[in-house]
Structure 1
Amino acid sequence: MSELNNNVDTARAAGTGLTMGAGRLFGVIRAVYGAIPGPLLGLILVCVVFSWLSPYFLTTRNFINIFSQVSEIGIMAAGAALVILIGGIDLSVGAVLAVSLMVNAWLYRDFGVPFVLSTLVGLGVGALVGFVNGILSTYGRIQPFVATLATMSACSGIALFVTNGGPVTGFPEWFTALATIRVAGIPLEMIILVSVYLAVAFWLNFRPTGRALYAIGGSEEVARLSGIDTQKVKILVYVIAGLLAALAGLILGARLDSAHPTAGAGDLLSVIAVVVIGGASLSGGSGGMFGTFIGLLIIGVLRNGMALLNVSPNLQPVVIGVAIIIAVMLDRRSQR
């Protein structure tokens, strides 16, 4: 009888040990899961799925293609992320890309302005539109959605007007060659993209004006009472967003060797999707360049993977729209 009791006690102890071991293992898994950002988990999952569905996905050439395909969207998304971080929205980024590129090409072709100078003017146009957005949404007290919607319409019209709706071709060879230059096997446009994100991330994390964006997005009134010139910072953010959109236009123009008045018109959804999927809160105050960059890779991988699987391009916006809904739902859940 005592032997039977000993066996029962041994079995109970073993069961208790297994339960405690399983609990510890589950705790470790949960801790690791909690330490990995949600967008990064999503990126890993998407990469695993496409690598299983297509043998051409996990190749160096394909990953370089992904970065090249989303470089201009990524640069615009860096500026859009800053705007969303302060609780605003910028619907004009695609139109700014088009108008800055068209003004650049128009001055170079029709007026013989040296291309370097016309490029600087194009960048200045992007910064000017951003400045107008900032003035309208601060001193003008117009909702950012309405203000940037108006400038989007105006920029689209100007881009069509300056060349009567026709494209401009014939850029200098040294400019178009920028799209094919590689440094240590890495495309120049990929280097520019990563450099933009590193520069903006440094500003956000280590400069007072960059840190002020989080304060403004969390509570603009509290930030103002803390001594932050909220209007000045917000205008600066919109100027940066416009300037980055113009820079994205240069990269697109070099790749296509032409300027189209409708260039960037279809990129607004992707830009907003990159920022939202990257974990930025639409109410402002949270987000960053790391999450935005991961969101950019998710969009790039989704587009590239669906292309490899011969999915109709008409269905790609549907997938991106679903991804936005999921990201917003997860954002609301995290806020609760």
Structure 2
Amino acid sequence: MPRLVWREPVPAVDRRIVTLGSLAGRESGGLVVLLVAIGALTLASDDFLTAGNLSNLARQVAIFAIIAVGQLLVILTAGIDLSVGSVLGLAGAVTAQLLVAGVPALLAILCGVLIGTVLGLVNGLLVTRAKLPPFIATLGMLGIARGVVLVITDAQTVQGLPEGFQRIANGTVAGVPNLLIVAALVVAAAWFVLTRTVFGRYVYAVGSNPESARLAGVPVRAVTISVYAIAGLLAGLGGVLLTSRLGAGIPTAGTGFELNAIAACVIGGASLFGAKGSALGAATGALIMGVLNNGGNLLAINAFYLQIAIGVLILVAVGFDQWNSRSTP
């Protein structure tokens, strides 16, 4: 008689989370806040809806949106990346130094993006191979990257960048800022990956339950490394674009950007516990923060009050997520 062996059933990936993770419901609150803020500022300031102000707002928000999308991918796996601001600063400074040294613009840009990708890859390896908590691994990278950029620049601004390079971020196409076009392409690509590809479903699965995802055949380690590498790539891209916009390599560029990226994701509906959030939500969160800062400048509101308002928004967003999680059966 053949021997019967009992095998535990392989848990299926929670398709409700994987396939519906980016439903508009999670970012609907952010969209409401955004519409209310735009309406209020339109009534309060005649300058808000002017072409010049909207163009400046688009350029300000674009870079935050790009790094927020990278942060979102990490957050969806229940991780965190505190190094994106410093990686952005390092990538931008290296790009500026290469340009001043006479390196062709395309090669300098590729080097800047590559630096961000490599540092993101290292973050992923530290989390998956060295088993370091994401907070600790990326906090260490934050210090390393910021220290390196200060050393290689001697804490001095790198100036004398080619005008052609500066036009990348400051130019327009049919009146639309180039930065806004790049940010829209990044958000659209992230939306497509998260909602229409196997990799996107894997990202949500890892954030939902990594052990169940592993038993279901999801390459958890590879997915985790990939999202950190993508976050680094987008931080590197953001560094190149910020350097182009400012027309110089600033050693302190990107300071605090990691917190803004996390805030944008949370305000846009992402959960710090993973598996909940969308690219559109992250972009919406970045736009809310940009609109508040822009409106505050137009109305001459103390910047400290704006920080308080953004902090309140974060607490409300996280509190709502906690309440929603407890009330969901």
Scaled by the length of structure 1, the TM-score of the pair is: 0.86
In the alignment of these two chains, the number of paired residues is: 302
Q: Does 1:85 align with 2:85?
A: no
Q: Which moved more, 1:79-88 or 1:34-43?
A: 34-43
Q: Does 1:302 align with 2:296?
A: no
Q: Give 2:283's match in structure 1, choosing from 270, 273, 293.
A: 293
Distance 1:188 1:137 in 2: 35
Describe how 1:54-133 pairs up with structure 2 within 5 A: 54-110=45-101, 112-133=102-123
Higher relative contact order (CA 8 A, sep 6+): 2
Amino acid at match of 1:37: S
Q: Which moved more, 1:131-140 or 1:66-75?
A: 66-75
- Match of 2:153, SS? coil
Q: Quickly say closer, same or farther: Cα 1:107–1:61, change in 2 above 3 A.
A: closer
Query: How many Å apart are 1:36 and its aligned residue?
Result: 8.2
Distance 1:327 1:36 in 2: 10
Query: How many Å apart are 1:162 and its aligned residue?
Result: 0.4
Amino acid at match of 1:269: L
Contact 1:270 1:320 (8 Å CA) reproduced: no
Amino acid at match of 1:56: D
Distance 2:206 2:256 in 1: 30
Query: How many Å apart are 1:257 and its aligned residue?
Result: 0.5
- The one-character-per-residue Cα deviations of 1:13-44 (angstroms, maximum 9, x if unpaired) are xxxxxxxxxxxxxxxxxxxxx89811111111
Q: Does 1:192 align with 2:185?
A: no
Contact 2:76 2:204 (8 Å CA) reproduced: yes
Q: Does 1:152 align with 2:152?
A: no
Distance 1:190 1:51 in 2: 21
Partner of 1:311: 301
Partner of 2:266: 276
Partner of 1:26: none
Scaled by the length of structure 2, the TM-score of the pair is: 0.88
- Match of 1:118, SS? helix
Amino acid at match of 1:268: E
Contact 1:96 1:155 (8 Å CA) reproduced: yes
- The one-character-per-residue Cα deviations of 1:79-109 (angstroms, maximum 9, x if unpaired) are 0000001100000000000111112222333
Distance 2:166 2:315 in 1: 38
Amino acid at match of 2:220: T
- Match of 2:109, SS? helix
Q: Give 1:229's match in structure 2, choosing from 219, 230, 234.
A: 219
Partner of 2:239: 249
Q: Which moved more, 1:235-244 or 1:266-275?
A: 266-275
Gaps of 5+ in 2: 1-24
- Match of 1:169, SS? coil
Distance 1:42 1:200 in 2: 23
Distance 1:108 1:304 in 2: 32
Contact 1:276 1:327 (8 Å CA) reproduced: yes
- The one-character-per-residue Cα deviations of 1:115-139 (angstroms, maximum 9, x if unpaired) are 3222211111100100010000111
Amino acid at match of 2:312: V
Q: Does 1:175 align with 2:160?
A: no
Distance 2:242 2:60 in 1: 10
Q: Which moved more, 1:82-91 or 1:246-255?
A: 246-255
- The one-character-per-residue Cα deviations of 1:284-308 (angstroms, maximum 9, x if unpaired) are 0110011111111111111111111
Distance 2:314 2:245 in 1: 28
Distance 1:49 1:294 in 2: 17
Partner of 1:38: 29
Contact 2:105 2:165 (8 Å CA) reproduced: no
Amino acid at match of 2:235: A
Distance 2:26 2:324 in 1: 14
Partner of 2:8: none
Contact 2:99 2:162 (8 Å CA) reproduced: no
Q: Percent sequence identity over matched residues?
A: 42
Describe how 1:258-277 pairs up with structure 2 within 5 A: 258-277=248-267
Q: Quickly say closer, same or farther: Cα 1:120–1:48, change in 2 above 3 A.
A: same
Contact 1:106 1:162 (8 Å CA) reproduced: no
Larger of the two Rg values belongs to structure: 1
